[in-house]
Structure 1
Amino acid sequence: MDPNKAAKMFVAWQKWRASFVPLGFVPDSEILEQLKDEKVFFLGASKSGYPVVLLNANKHVPAKDLQIFKKLVVYMFDKGIASGIRGKEIGNEKFIMVMDMQKLGYKNVDANGFISAFQILQTYYPQRLVKLYILNMPWFFKSVWKMISYAIEKDTVNKIMIVSSEKERQQVITEVGVEVLPKELGGIGKPVPLQDVELPRLEC
Structure 2
Amino acid sequence: MAPVENPLKQDPKYDNYDFPTNSPVPHNGHPGWTTPEQDAQVFQLRSLLEQAGYTERLDTMTMLRFLRARKFNVELSKQMFIDSEKWRSEFGGGVENLVRTFDYKEKPKVFQYYPQYYHKTDKDGRPVYIEQLGKVDLTAMYKITTEERMIQNLVCEYEKMADPRLPACCRKAGHLLETSCSIMDLKGVGISKASSVYGYLGKVSAISQNYYPERLGKLYVINAPWGFGAVFNFVKRFLDPVTVEKIHILGTGYEKELLAQIPKENLPTAFGGSCECAEGCMLSDAGPWQEREYYTPPKWAKRDDDTIENKPESAEAAPQTESTVAPQGETTLEGKAPAPAPAAA
The normalised TM-score by structure 1 is 0.77
Note the alpha carbon deviations across 1:161-185, whole angstroms, 9 max, x for none.
Answer: 221263x531221112212211121
Could you tell me which of 110, 115, 118 is aligned with 1:42?
118
Q: Match of 2:203?
A: 116
Distance 1:71 1:133, change over 3 A: same
Note the alpha carbon deviations across 1:16-52, whole angstroms, 9 max, x for none.
Answer: 11111515143442x4445532212322111101000
Shift of 1:72: 2.8
Could you tell me which of 55, 59, 71 is aligned with 2:152?
71
- The letter of the residue matching 2:109 is K
Task: For structure 1, list consecutive stretches of 5 or more residues without a partner in the other structure.
Answer: none
SS at match of 2:206: helix
How many residue pairs end up in the alignment? 197
Q: How far apart, CA to CA, are the structure 2 residues paired with 1:129 and 1:87? A: 15
Could you tell me which of 179, 198, 214 is aligned with 1:94?
179
Q: Match of 1:201?
A: 298
Q: Match of 1:57?
A: 133
More strand, by proportion? 1
SS at match of 1:188: coil
Q: How far apart, CA to CA, are the structure 2 residues paired with 1:100 and 1:32? A: 24
Deviates more, 1:11-20 or 1:33-42: 33-42
Distance 1:66 1:87, change over 3 A: closer
CA RMSD across the alignment? 3.3
- The letter of the residue matching 2:81 is F
Note the alpha carbon deviations across 1:146-171, whole angstroms, 9 max, x for none.
Answer: 6xx69x853544432221263x5312
SS at match of 2:220: strand
Distance 1:175 1:88, change over 3 A: closer
Could you tell me which of 168, 182, 185 is aligned with 2:271?
185
Distance 1:129 1:37, change over 3 A: same
Give 1 or 2 for the bigger CA radius of gyration: 2
The normalised TM-score by structure 2 is 0.49
Counterpart check, 1:12 vs 2:83 = yes
Distance 1:9 1:194, change over 3 A: farther
Alignment of structure 1 residues 75-154 onto 2, 5 Å: 75-82=156-163, 83-86=165-168, 89=171, 91-104=176-189, 106-107=192-193, 109-139=196-226, 142=228, 153-154=239-240
Q: How far apart, CA to CA, are the structure 1 residues paired with 2:244 and 2:284? A: 25
Q: How far apart, CA to CA, are the structure 2 residues paired with 1:195 and 1:176? A: 16
Note the alpha carbon deviations across 1:50-81, whole angstroms, 9 max, x for none.
Answer: 00011122333336554333223212322333
Task: For structure 2, list consecutive stretches of 5 or more residues without a partner in the other structure.
Answer: 1-71, 302-345
Amino-acid identity (%): 23
Deviates more, 1:104-113 or 1:179-188: 104-113
Asked if structure 2 preserves the Cα contact closer than 8 Å seen for 1:101 and 1:137, the reply is yes
